[in-house]
Amino acid sequence: MKGRGKAGGAVSIVNAISIGRGAALGIGLETTATLQIIDEPVYTLTINGEHAEPVLAKAVVETFSRQTGVEALGARVETVSNIPVAVGLKSSSSAAVAIAKAFLDAVGKTMPTEELLKNVADASVASGTSITGAMDDAAACMLGGAVVTDNIKRKILRRQKIAEKLEAIVYVPHGRTYTSQFRKELLTPVKFVVETAFNLALNGQYWTAMTINGLAHSAALGLPTQPTIKALEAGALAAGLSGTGPAVAAVAHEEKADKVAEALQLYEGKVIRCSVNRGDGS
């Protein structure tokens, strides 16, 4: 049995690690997964043609096998993605959703969106790739638009399509941050700020929430805030650290995107530009 699945990328509006609730925005990066179920207890994973540890893929297959009642002893999984790993751009959430959709395609099953996302969250926690289950990230990767979730209760609290045509400009410095090695207690001092950002997002004030969240997390983690400020000076609607970084994501109208990109290109690293996934299929 073989199947294929796709999912987009996302950036943080509100990082859920400290309070268990968060928000994310879909962007036009993509992961494609191809999955083959096999009759032996072996799991393999390649990412862009390179062999990788199949911990997340195995957790996703086992979770969805259990939930669908379709036995899968093992699987061969291949993913192709243009999302950089371990920089805060939701590569794991995108992969988990794509693999889940590929599994369902392989076994000829369908699943309601919120149930699929709940199972992806459970698999992400089981594999150690997420602390809260990252339902906000997975939902934004799968649905696009802006999504606000309670990751602990596994519920979508708000979902909104983005009416404007916007661009995401992402500054990716050197360095990586792996969730499995992250010290959650570093964020304790800014929990009250994150609560404020979350309430703003819940009320639809996504750009203010994204900037407040990003600045607070940069400060708490000892990461530079200057790229965020420079992006805002250049005309970005919002900017800030995505996840636990080190990537800084900015959102801008198309006519401002060049200036925002120029501001971020002054820093060592690379700049990725893509559309904001508006959540309407466009």
Last residue of one domain, picked from the residues 138, 160, 182: 160
Give the pLDDT of residue 107: 97
Q: Kindly state whether residue 200 falls inside one of the protein's structural domains.
A: yes
Kindly state the tokens that stand for 231. 């992006």
* Same domain membership, residue 176 and residue 149: no
Last residue of one domain, picked from the residues 160, 190, 224: 160
| Residue 136, amino acid | D
Q: Kindly state whether residue 282 falls inside one of the protein's structural domains.
A: no
| 259: CATH | 3.30.70.890
| 88: CATH | 3.30.230.10
Residues 80-113 as b/e (b if ≥16 CB within 10 A, e otherwise) read ebebbebbbbbbbbbbbbbbbbbbbbbbeeebee
* Same domain membership, residue 74 and residue 55: yes
* Same domain membership, residue 155 and residue 188: no
* Same domain membership, residue 112 and residue 70: yes
- Distance from C-alpha of 152 to C-alpha of 17, rounded to nearest angstrom: 10
DSSP letter at 180? G
Give the pLDDT of residue 98: 98
State the pTM of this model.
Answer: 0.95
* Same domain membership, residue 59 and residue 35: yes
* Same domain membership, residue 180 and residue 135: no
Give the pLDDT of residue 52: 95
Q: Kindly state whether residue 280 falls inside one of the protein's structural domains.
A: no
The whole-angstrom distance between residue 105's C-alpha and the CA centroid of its chain comes to: 22
Count of domains forming the chain? 2
Last residue of one domain, picked from the residues 132, 160, 188: 160
Q: Inter-axis angle of helices 135-143 and 91-107, to 10 degrees?
A: 60
Q: Kindly state whether residue 102 falls inside one of the protein's structural domains.
A: yes
DSSP letter at 194? H
Backbone torsions φ then ψ of 167, nearest 5 degrees = -120, 145
* Same domain membership, residue 144 and residue 7: yes
Q: Kindly state whether residue 49 falls inside one of the protein's structural domains.
A: yes
Q: Kindly state whether residue 281 falls inside one of the protein's structural domains.
A: no
* Same domain membership, residue 151 and residue 170: no
Give the pLDDT of residue 26: 98
Give the pLDDT of residue 282: 54
- Distance from C-alpha of 32 to C-alpha of 101, rounded to nearest angstrom: 10
Q: Kindly state whether residue 79 falls inside one of the protein's structural domains.
A: yes
* Same domain membership, residue 170 and residue 150: no
* Same domain membership, residue 48 and residue 71: yes
* Same domain membership, residue 189 and residue 51: no
Give the pLDDT of residue 142: 98
Q: Kindly state whether residue 203 falls inside one of the protein's structural domains.
A: yes
Q: How many residues does the chain have?
A: 282
- Distance from C-alpha of 51 to C-alpha of 223, rounded to nearest angstrom: 31
Give the pLDDT of residue 182: 75
Q: What is the pLDDT along the chain (282 residues), one digit of tens a residue?
A: 999 999 999 999 999 999 999 999 999 999 999 999 999 999 999 999 999 999 999 999 999 999 999 999 999 999 999 999 988 899 999 999 999 999 999 999 999 999 999 999 999 999 988 888 899 999 999 999 999 999 999 999 999 999 999 999 999 998 777 666 678 899 999 999 999 999 999 999 999 999 999 999 999 999 999 999 999 999 999 999 999 989 999 999 999 999 999 999 999 999 999 999 999 875
Give the pLDDT of residue 175: 75
* Same domain membership, residue 171 and residue 97: no
Query: What range does the domain containing 95 cover?
Result: 2-160
